[in-house]
């Protein structure tokens, strides 16, 4: 028992040491690049349609069958208030785990895997509440801005009001 | 550590089963079925709970269970009559045992003297009865009377013919003994070894009680010619000196070998009572030569029975015998190893012929009623529910694949590949059979939930000061385990509601010309693909005026709406609604009934209330028989597939043939055989555009709770099939009007229409 917890401690420490850097999956929506931590990503798949859900907000594109489980798809563009994406076969669904749930995010394309230092994460400038609500922070990579998506915020508020 | 936790978990599982059993037995006993089998079952259950509790050190539970068990033992022996008073006390005791078990499980502490009053009652009843039996006292008692007069001792044990009269040391178990020296004589039977008990372990436990010395009695060892390799020839005399030890403590050590040995326990400090006949400590083993020769023999003749290893120890122990008549404990331990017949003989000579018929050998190993009853348990196994679920899921997928394959067969294929068609038909049958069998594994009688309710009703009756009787019907009805698990909370709330709001006080009932005691009837029945659970009371019924007023006050119903009586009744399930004038600690906070609704909806069921003023209320839960597979009608709305549970569909028709009528609100009603039915256009309701001409669309007439109908308008009807229900909430959240999702043969997701939900939504929506 004791030996076991000791080992846990050790692994925690080594994990922490390596965690000063962050690996991101970067994807694009129009010209903009966004990223999510790579550890949350479960799967990337091409857009293949979704069954629309009634009585939900426009950014909920519907549900898909992921190996027997029903997974909701969120349209990130619509979530940012830029209108629904008109998806083609070239669009991509990034399946991620948020808490104990799996969700898919519809994006234009997956562009890169980035390794950034945690120290390089900037705060989201105050101003527009949508930005601060949906982004956790901003990093710069190759002089591009990459917004770190707050997944919890993105998937919340899916139901129609009233 | 985790091993122990595992055992504990198993123990608590068993406890909940045993407590259920207790509840059952007593409800039968209450009805007057007071036969011995029931009492034995009760006794066994309490004994098992106590035994496990002892192993895990739940001393409060052990203490209470022990006292309870003693009472039961008296009842079983007929020393205490099973009067109503005793039955009530027992039922109360069951609740206390349940509380103790619960406390042990959660780690909560109960008040130190919890159940003490009942414990005192047990003793009082036991004693009170003992006095009576004393009067008609049997012959054997007289002689004991003389011997025991110096100390006040309860003698009830001896009133019983069963008491081992031939054993001069027997002392009633109920007595509280004084400190001192205890003399124990322990004679194991062969059964003790056969059940893999080891006297050494018992002695170790005894040694923990106080200063102990053990003397083996080996006189019974026969000459080598008569020596049975598996015979039992040793008995022991043990004395323990400790100021604190009680007879009960000593008895507890022998608890699990009771019946497999003769034990007498005597308080030697009482003086003079027990000159144990021939306490000559004589390890009479006069023939070491014979042993030696036996050992030599063993290689050839007795070889299978004696493994060389114990034989070697035997020789070692031999020395101890010779040099030390009063054996030390350690030496005794050594000795025991050898004297005890090999517990699992590697290849017993005797059993050789038996081995040919292993089945015949089985019953002989479990003699005695209790053990015989237990061997029946081998017929069932405990399986992790996850494992069953995995099978259920896979069978579900198989069913879908099978129905997809069948759909692929068109007429040309059918004509060309008759073998394939036949194969598919067999496959369909087999899958159906497989599915039914798997479902049967998960199915459990609702009894497991129902049996918790009598206690609830008792408590509620006490708290509210009302007189309430609970009747249960159809306990054997089987439902999927998941449904059963989800049923407990809603049922509790519904029964609370009935007891608190439904049933009136005895005075009011009498004034209303009803019997003083209110009745809550809990019943379960299967109706088609559904299970109906009905909670019915003969109370005052729902006060609709007050419900409506309250609902308006709380903004649950918009002022301009005039709901029907039925709709008003349903309002009690609205969140935040409570009609109780005073919030009691039973119900009235308005969080109960909406929990019922949401829990039941979660498992794909529906709730319906009907109430008759002054006569009572009936709440009906309609639950799916199984959660996994559903027969559905596949329909199309706005180009997307939706499924409607087949169990709720009455009929389908083309819109062009249906006669719609308009109502002032702008909605439509459908006239079907003289009945007007609310029409819900799914495309409209789900806000999906449809390009299908109105006349080409279809009406799906559905029946919802309480035989009220609703007509759904859909674009097209595709066909029937079986689907596996998948939760939307697992990765998303509940969607209004949708009961869940399912995956079609082509891999796409279709949504399951929540017919009941659609029907009830408008009222809530306009209220919001």
Which of A55, A70, A158 is the closest to B737 by Cβ?
Answer: A55
A56: closest chain B residue by CA: B735
Separation CA B446–CA B488 (nearest Å): 10
What's B446-624's CATH class?
A: alpha beta
Give which of A40, A65, A95 to mutate to test B binding, by max B Cβ within 10 Å. Answer: A65
Residue B647: how many CA atoms within 13 Å on its side-chain side?
23
Shortest distance between the Cα of A127 and any Cα of chain B, in A, equals 30
Q: Chain A residues with CB inside 8 Å of B688's CB?
A: 52, 54
Q: Which residue has the higher pLDDT, B60 or B283?
A: B60
Which of A53, A68, A72 is the closest to B743 by Cβ?
Answer: A68
Phi, psi for B375 (deg, rounded to 5): -65, -20
Asked if B748 is an interface residue toward chain A (Cβ–Cβ < 8 A), one would say yes
CB A70 within 8 A of CB A83: no
Residue B66, Cβ neighbours under 10 Å: how many? 22
Give which of B392, B398, B731 to mutate to test A binding, by max A Cβ within 10 Å. Answer: B731
- The residues near A83 (Cβ < 8 Å, ≥ 6 apart) are A77
Mean pLDDT confidence for B720-745 = 81
CB B758 within 8 A of CB B737: yes
- Between CA A55 and CA A66, with CA A60 as vertex, the angle to 5 degrees is 115
Q: In whole angstroms, what separates CA B42 from the centre of its chain?
A: 14
Separation CA B404–CA B573 (nearest Å): 40
Q: Chain B residues with CB inside 8 Å of A71's CB?
A: 731
pLDDT of the residue at A38:
92
Separation CA B461–CA B459 (nearest Å): 5
Q: Across chain B, what does the average pLDDT equal?
A: 72
- CATH homologous superfamily, domain A2-155: CheA-289, Domain 4 (2.40.50.180)
pTM of the predicted structure, to 2 decimals: 0.45
CATH topology of domain B629-767: SH3 type barrels. (2.30.30)
Residue B116 tokens read as 């003490």
B498: closest CA among B462, B522, B526, B515?
B522
- Contact between B731 and A72 using a beta-carbon 8 Å cutoff: yes
Helix (H, G, I), strand (E, B) or coil at B585: coil
Long-range contacts, A128-131 (Cβ 8 Å, 24+): A130/A80, A130/A81
Domain B2-136 has CATH 1.20.1250.20: no
Asked if A42 is an interface residue toward chain B (Cβ–Cβ < 8 A), one would say no
- Between CA B238 and CA B244, with CA B240 as vertex, the angle to 5 degrees is 150
- Contact between A54 and B738 using a beta-carbon 8 Å cutoff: yes
Give residue-wise pLDDT tens across range A34-64. Answer: 999 999 999 999 998 899 888 888 899 999 9
- Contact between A72 and B732 using a beta-carbon 8 Å cutoff: yes
pLDDT of the residue at B591:
52
Shortest distance between the Cα of B768 and any Cα of chain A, in A, equals 7
* Domain parsing of chain A, residue ranges: 2-155
Helix (H, G, I), strand (E, B) or coil at B287: coil
Give residue-wise pLDDT tens across range A67-115. Answer: 778 999 999 999 888 888 888 888 999 999 988 889 999 999 998 898 8
Helix (H, G, I), strand (E, B) or coil at B84: helix
B641: closest chain A residue by CA: A51
Q: Which residue has the higher pLDDT, B194 or B681?
A: B681
- Contact between B737 and A69 using a beta-carbon 8 Å cutoff: no
Asked if B688 is an interface residue toward chain A (Cβ–Cβ < 8 A), one would say yes
* Domain parsing of chain B, residue ranges: 2-136, 162-339, 385-444, 446-624, 629-767
Q: How confident is the model at residue B762 (pLDDT cuts 50, 70, 90)?
A: very low
pLDDT of the residue at B705:
59
Separation CA B333–CA B326 (nearest Å): 13
Q: Chain B residues with CB inside 8 Å of A103's CB?
A: 731-732
Separation CA B327–CA B204 (nearest Å): 15
Which of B641, B730, B750 is the closest to A69 by Cβ?
Answer: B730
Give residue-wise pLDDT tens across range B150-188. Answer: 444 444 444 444 444 444 444 444 444 445 778 888 888
Q: Chain A residues with CB inside 8 Å of B397's CB?
A: 68
A102: closest chain B residue by CA: B731
Give the length of chain B. Answer: 768
pLDDT of the residue at B760:
59
Shortest distance between the Cα of A64 and any Cα of chain B, in A, equals 6
pLDDT of the residue at A94:
94
pLDDT of the residue at B89:
83
Residue B684: how many CA atoms within 13 Å on its side-chain side?
10
Asked if B729 is an interface residue toward chain A (Cβ–Cβ < 8 A), one would say no
Prediction ipTM score: 0.79
Which of B732, B748, B768 is the closest to A65 by Cβ?
Answer: B748
Percent of chain B with pLDDT over 70: 73
Asked if B398 is an interface residue toward chain A (Cβ–Cβ < 8 A), one would say no
Separation CA B663–CA B696 (nearest Å): 22
Shortest distance between the Cα of A100 and any Cα of chain B, in A, equals 8
Asked if A14 is an interface residue toward chain B (Cβ–Cβ < 8 A), one would say no
Q: How confident is the model at residue B97 (pLDDT cuts 50, 70, 90)?
A: confident
User: Which of B1-10, B301-310, B543-552 shows the lowest per-residue confidence on average (mean pLDDT)?
Assistant: B301-310
A106, β-bridge pairs: A75, A93
Residue B152: how many CA atoms within 13 Å on its side-chain side?
2
Residue B501: DSSP 8-state: I
Asked if A152 is an interface residue toward chain B (Cβ–Cβ < 8 A), one would say no
Asked if B641 is an interface residue toward chain A (Cβ–Cβ < 8 A), one would say yes
Asked if A55 is an interface residue toward chain B (Cβ–Cβ < 8 A), one would say yes
A95: closest CA among A70, A71, A116?
A71
Q: Where are the beta strands (DSSP E) in B593-662?
A: 606-612, 616-624, 629-637, 640-645, 649-654, 659-662
Residue with tokens 């003079």: B272
A118: closest CA among A97, A148, A94?
A148
pLDDT of the residue at B312:
42
CB B474 within 8 A of CB B522: no
Q: How confident is the model at residue B238 (pLDDT cuts 50, 70, 90)?
A: confident
Give residue-wise pLDDT tens across range B300-318. Answer: 444 444 444 444 444 444 4
Q: How confident is the model at residue B734 (pLDDT cuts 50, 70, 90)?
A: confident
Give residue-wise pLDDT tens across range B446-490. Answer: 888 888 888 888 888 888 888 888 898 888 888 887 788 778 888
Cα separation of the two ends of chain A: 53
């Amino acid at each position: 028992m004791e030996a076991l917890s000791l080992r846990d401690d050790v692994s925690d420490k080594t994990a922490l040491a390596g965690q000063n850097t962050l690996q991101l999956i970067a994807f694009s929506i129009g010209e903009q690049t966004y990223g999510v931590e790579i550890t949350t990503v479960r799967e990337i798949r091409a857009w293949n349609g979704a069954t629309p859900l009634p009585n939900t907000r426009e950014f909920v594109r519907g549900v898909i069958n992921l190996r027997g489980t029903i997974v909701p798809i969120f349209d990130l563009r619509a979530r940012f208030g830029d209108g629904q994406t008109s998806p083609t076969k070239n669009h991509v669904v990034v399946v991620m785990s948020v808490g104990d749930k799996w969700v898919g995010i519809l994006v234009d394309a997956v562009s890169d895997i980035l390794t950034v230092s945690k120290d390089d994460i900037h705060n989201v400038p105050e101003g527009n509440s949508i930005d601060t609500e949906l982004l956790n922070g901003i990093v710069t990579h190759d002089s591009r801005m990459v917004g770190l998506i707050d997944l919890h915020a993105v998937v919340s508020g899916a139901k129609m009001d009233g | 550590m985790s091993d122990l936790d595992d055992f504990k978990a198993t123990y608590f599982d068993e406890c909940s089963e045993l407590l259920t059993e207790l509840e059952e037995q007593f409800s039968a006993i209450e009805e007057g079925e007071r036969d011995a089998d029931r009492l034995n079952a009760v006794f066994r259950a309490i004994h098992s709970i106590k035994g496990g509790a002892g192993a895990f050190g739940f001393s409060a539970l052990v203490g209470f269970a022990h006292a309870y068990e003693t009472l039961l033992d008296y009842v079983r022996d007929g020393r205490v009559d099973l009067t109503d008073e005793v039955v009530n006390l027992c039922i109360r005791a069951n609740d206390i045992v349940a509380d103790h078990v619960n406390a042990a499980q959660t780690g909560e502490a109960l008040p130190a003297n919890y159940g003490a009053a009942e414990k005192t009652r047990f003793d009082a009843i036991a004693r009170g009865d003992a006095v009576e039996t004393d009067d008609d006292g049997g012959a054997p008692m007289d002689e004991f009377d003389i011997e025991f007069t110096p100390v006040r001792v309860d003698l009830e044990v001896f009133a019983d013919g069963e008491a081992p009269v031939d054993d001069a040391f027997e002392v009633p178990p109920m007595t509280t003994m004084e400190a001192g020296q205890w003399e124990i004589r322990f004679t194991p039977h062969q059964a003790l070894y056969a059940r893999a008990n080891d006297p050494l372990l018992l002695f170790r436990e005894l040694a923990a009680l106080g200063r102990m010395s053990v003397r083996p009695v080996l006189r019974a060892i026969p000459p080598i010619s008569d020596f049975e390799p598996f015979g039992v020839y040793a008995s022991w005399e043990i004395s323990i000196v400790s100021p604190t030890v009680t007879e009960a403590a000593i008895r507890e050590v022998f608890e699990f070998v009771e019946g497999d040995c003769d034990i007498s326990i005597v308080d030697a400090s009482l003086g003079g009572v027990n000159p144990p006949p021939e306490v000559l400590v004589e390890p009479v083993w006069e023939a070491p030569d014979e042993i030696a020769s036996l050992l030599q023999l063993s290689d050839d003749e007795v070889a299978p029975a004696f493994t060389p290893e114990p034989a070697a120890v035997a020789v070692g122990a031999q020395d101890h015998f010779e040099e030390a008549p009063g054996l030390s404990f350690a030496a005794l331990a050594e000795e025991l190893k050898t004297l005890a017949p090999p517990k699992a003989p590697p290849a017993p000579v005797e059993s050789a012929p038996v081995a040919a018929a292993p089945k015949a050998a089985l019953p002989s190993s479990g003699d005695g009623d209790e053990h015989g009853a237990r061997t029946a348990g081998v017929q069932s196994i405990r399986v992790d529910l996850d494992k069953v679920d995995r099978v259920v899921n896979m069978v579900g997928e198989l069913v879908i694949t099978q129905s997809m394959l069948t759909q692929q067969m068109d007429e040309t294929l059918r004509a060309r590949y008759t073998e394939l068609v036949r194969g598919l038909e067999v496959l369909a049958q087999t899958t159906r059979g497989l599915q039914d069998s798997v479902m049967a594994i998960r199915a459990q009688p609702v009894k497991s939930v129902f049996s918790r309710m009598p206690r609830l009703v008792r408590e509620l009756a006490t708290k509210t000061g009302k007189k309430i009787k609970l009747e249960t019907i159809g306990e054997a009805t089987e439902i999927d385990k998941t449904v059963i698990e989800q049923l407990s909370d809603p049922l509790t709330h519904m029964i609370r509601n009935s007891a608190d709001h439904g049933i009136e006080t005895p005075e009011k009932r009498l004034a209303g010309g009803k019997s003083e005691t209110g009745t809550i009837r809990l019943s379960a029945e299967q109706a088609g693909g559904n299970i109906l659970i009905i909670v019915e009371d003969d109370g005052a019924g729902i006060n609709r005026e007050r419900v409506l007023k309250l609902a308006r006050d709380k903004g649950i119903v918009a002022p301009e709406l005039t709901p029907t009586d039925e709709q008003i009744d349903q309002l009690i399930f609205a969140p935040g609604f409570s009609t109780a004038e005073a919030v009691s600690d039973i119900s009235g906070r308005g969080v109960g009934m909406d929990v019922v609704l949401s829990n039941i909806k979660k498992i794909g069921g529906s709730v319906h209330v009907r109430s008759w003023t002054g006569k009572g209320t009936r709440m009906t839960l309609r639950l799916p028989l199984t959660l996994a597979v559903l027969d559905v009608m596949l329909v199309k709305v706005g180009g997307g597939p939706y499924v409607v549970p087949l169990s709720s569909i009455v009929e389908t028709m083309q819109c062009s043939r249906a006669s719609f009528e308009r109502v002032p609100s702008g909605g439509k009603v459908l006239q079907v055989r003289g009945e007007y039915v609310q029409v819900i256009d799914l495309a409209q309701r789900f806000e999906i555009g449809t390009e299908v001409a109105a006349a080409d669309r279809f009406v799906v007439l559905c029946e919802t709770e309480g035989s009220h109908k609703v007509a759904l308008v859909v674009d097209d009807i595709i066909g029937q099939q079986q689907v596996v229900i998948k939760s939307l909430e697992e990765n998303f959240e509940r969607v209004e009007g949708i009961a869940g999702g399912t995956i079609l043969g082509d891999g796409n997701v279709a949504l399951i229409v929540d017919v009941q939900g659609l029907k009830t939504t408008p009222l809530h929506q306009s209220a919001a």
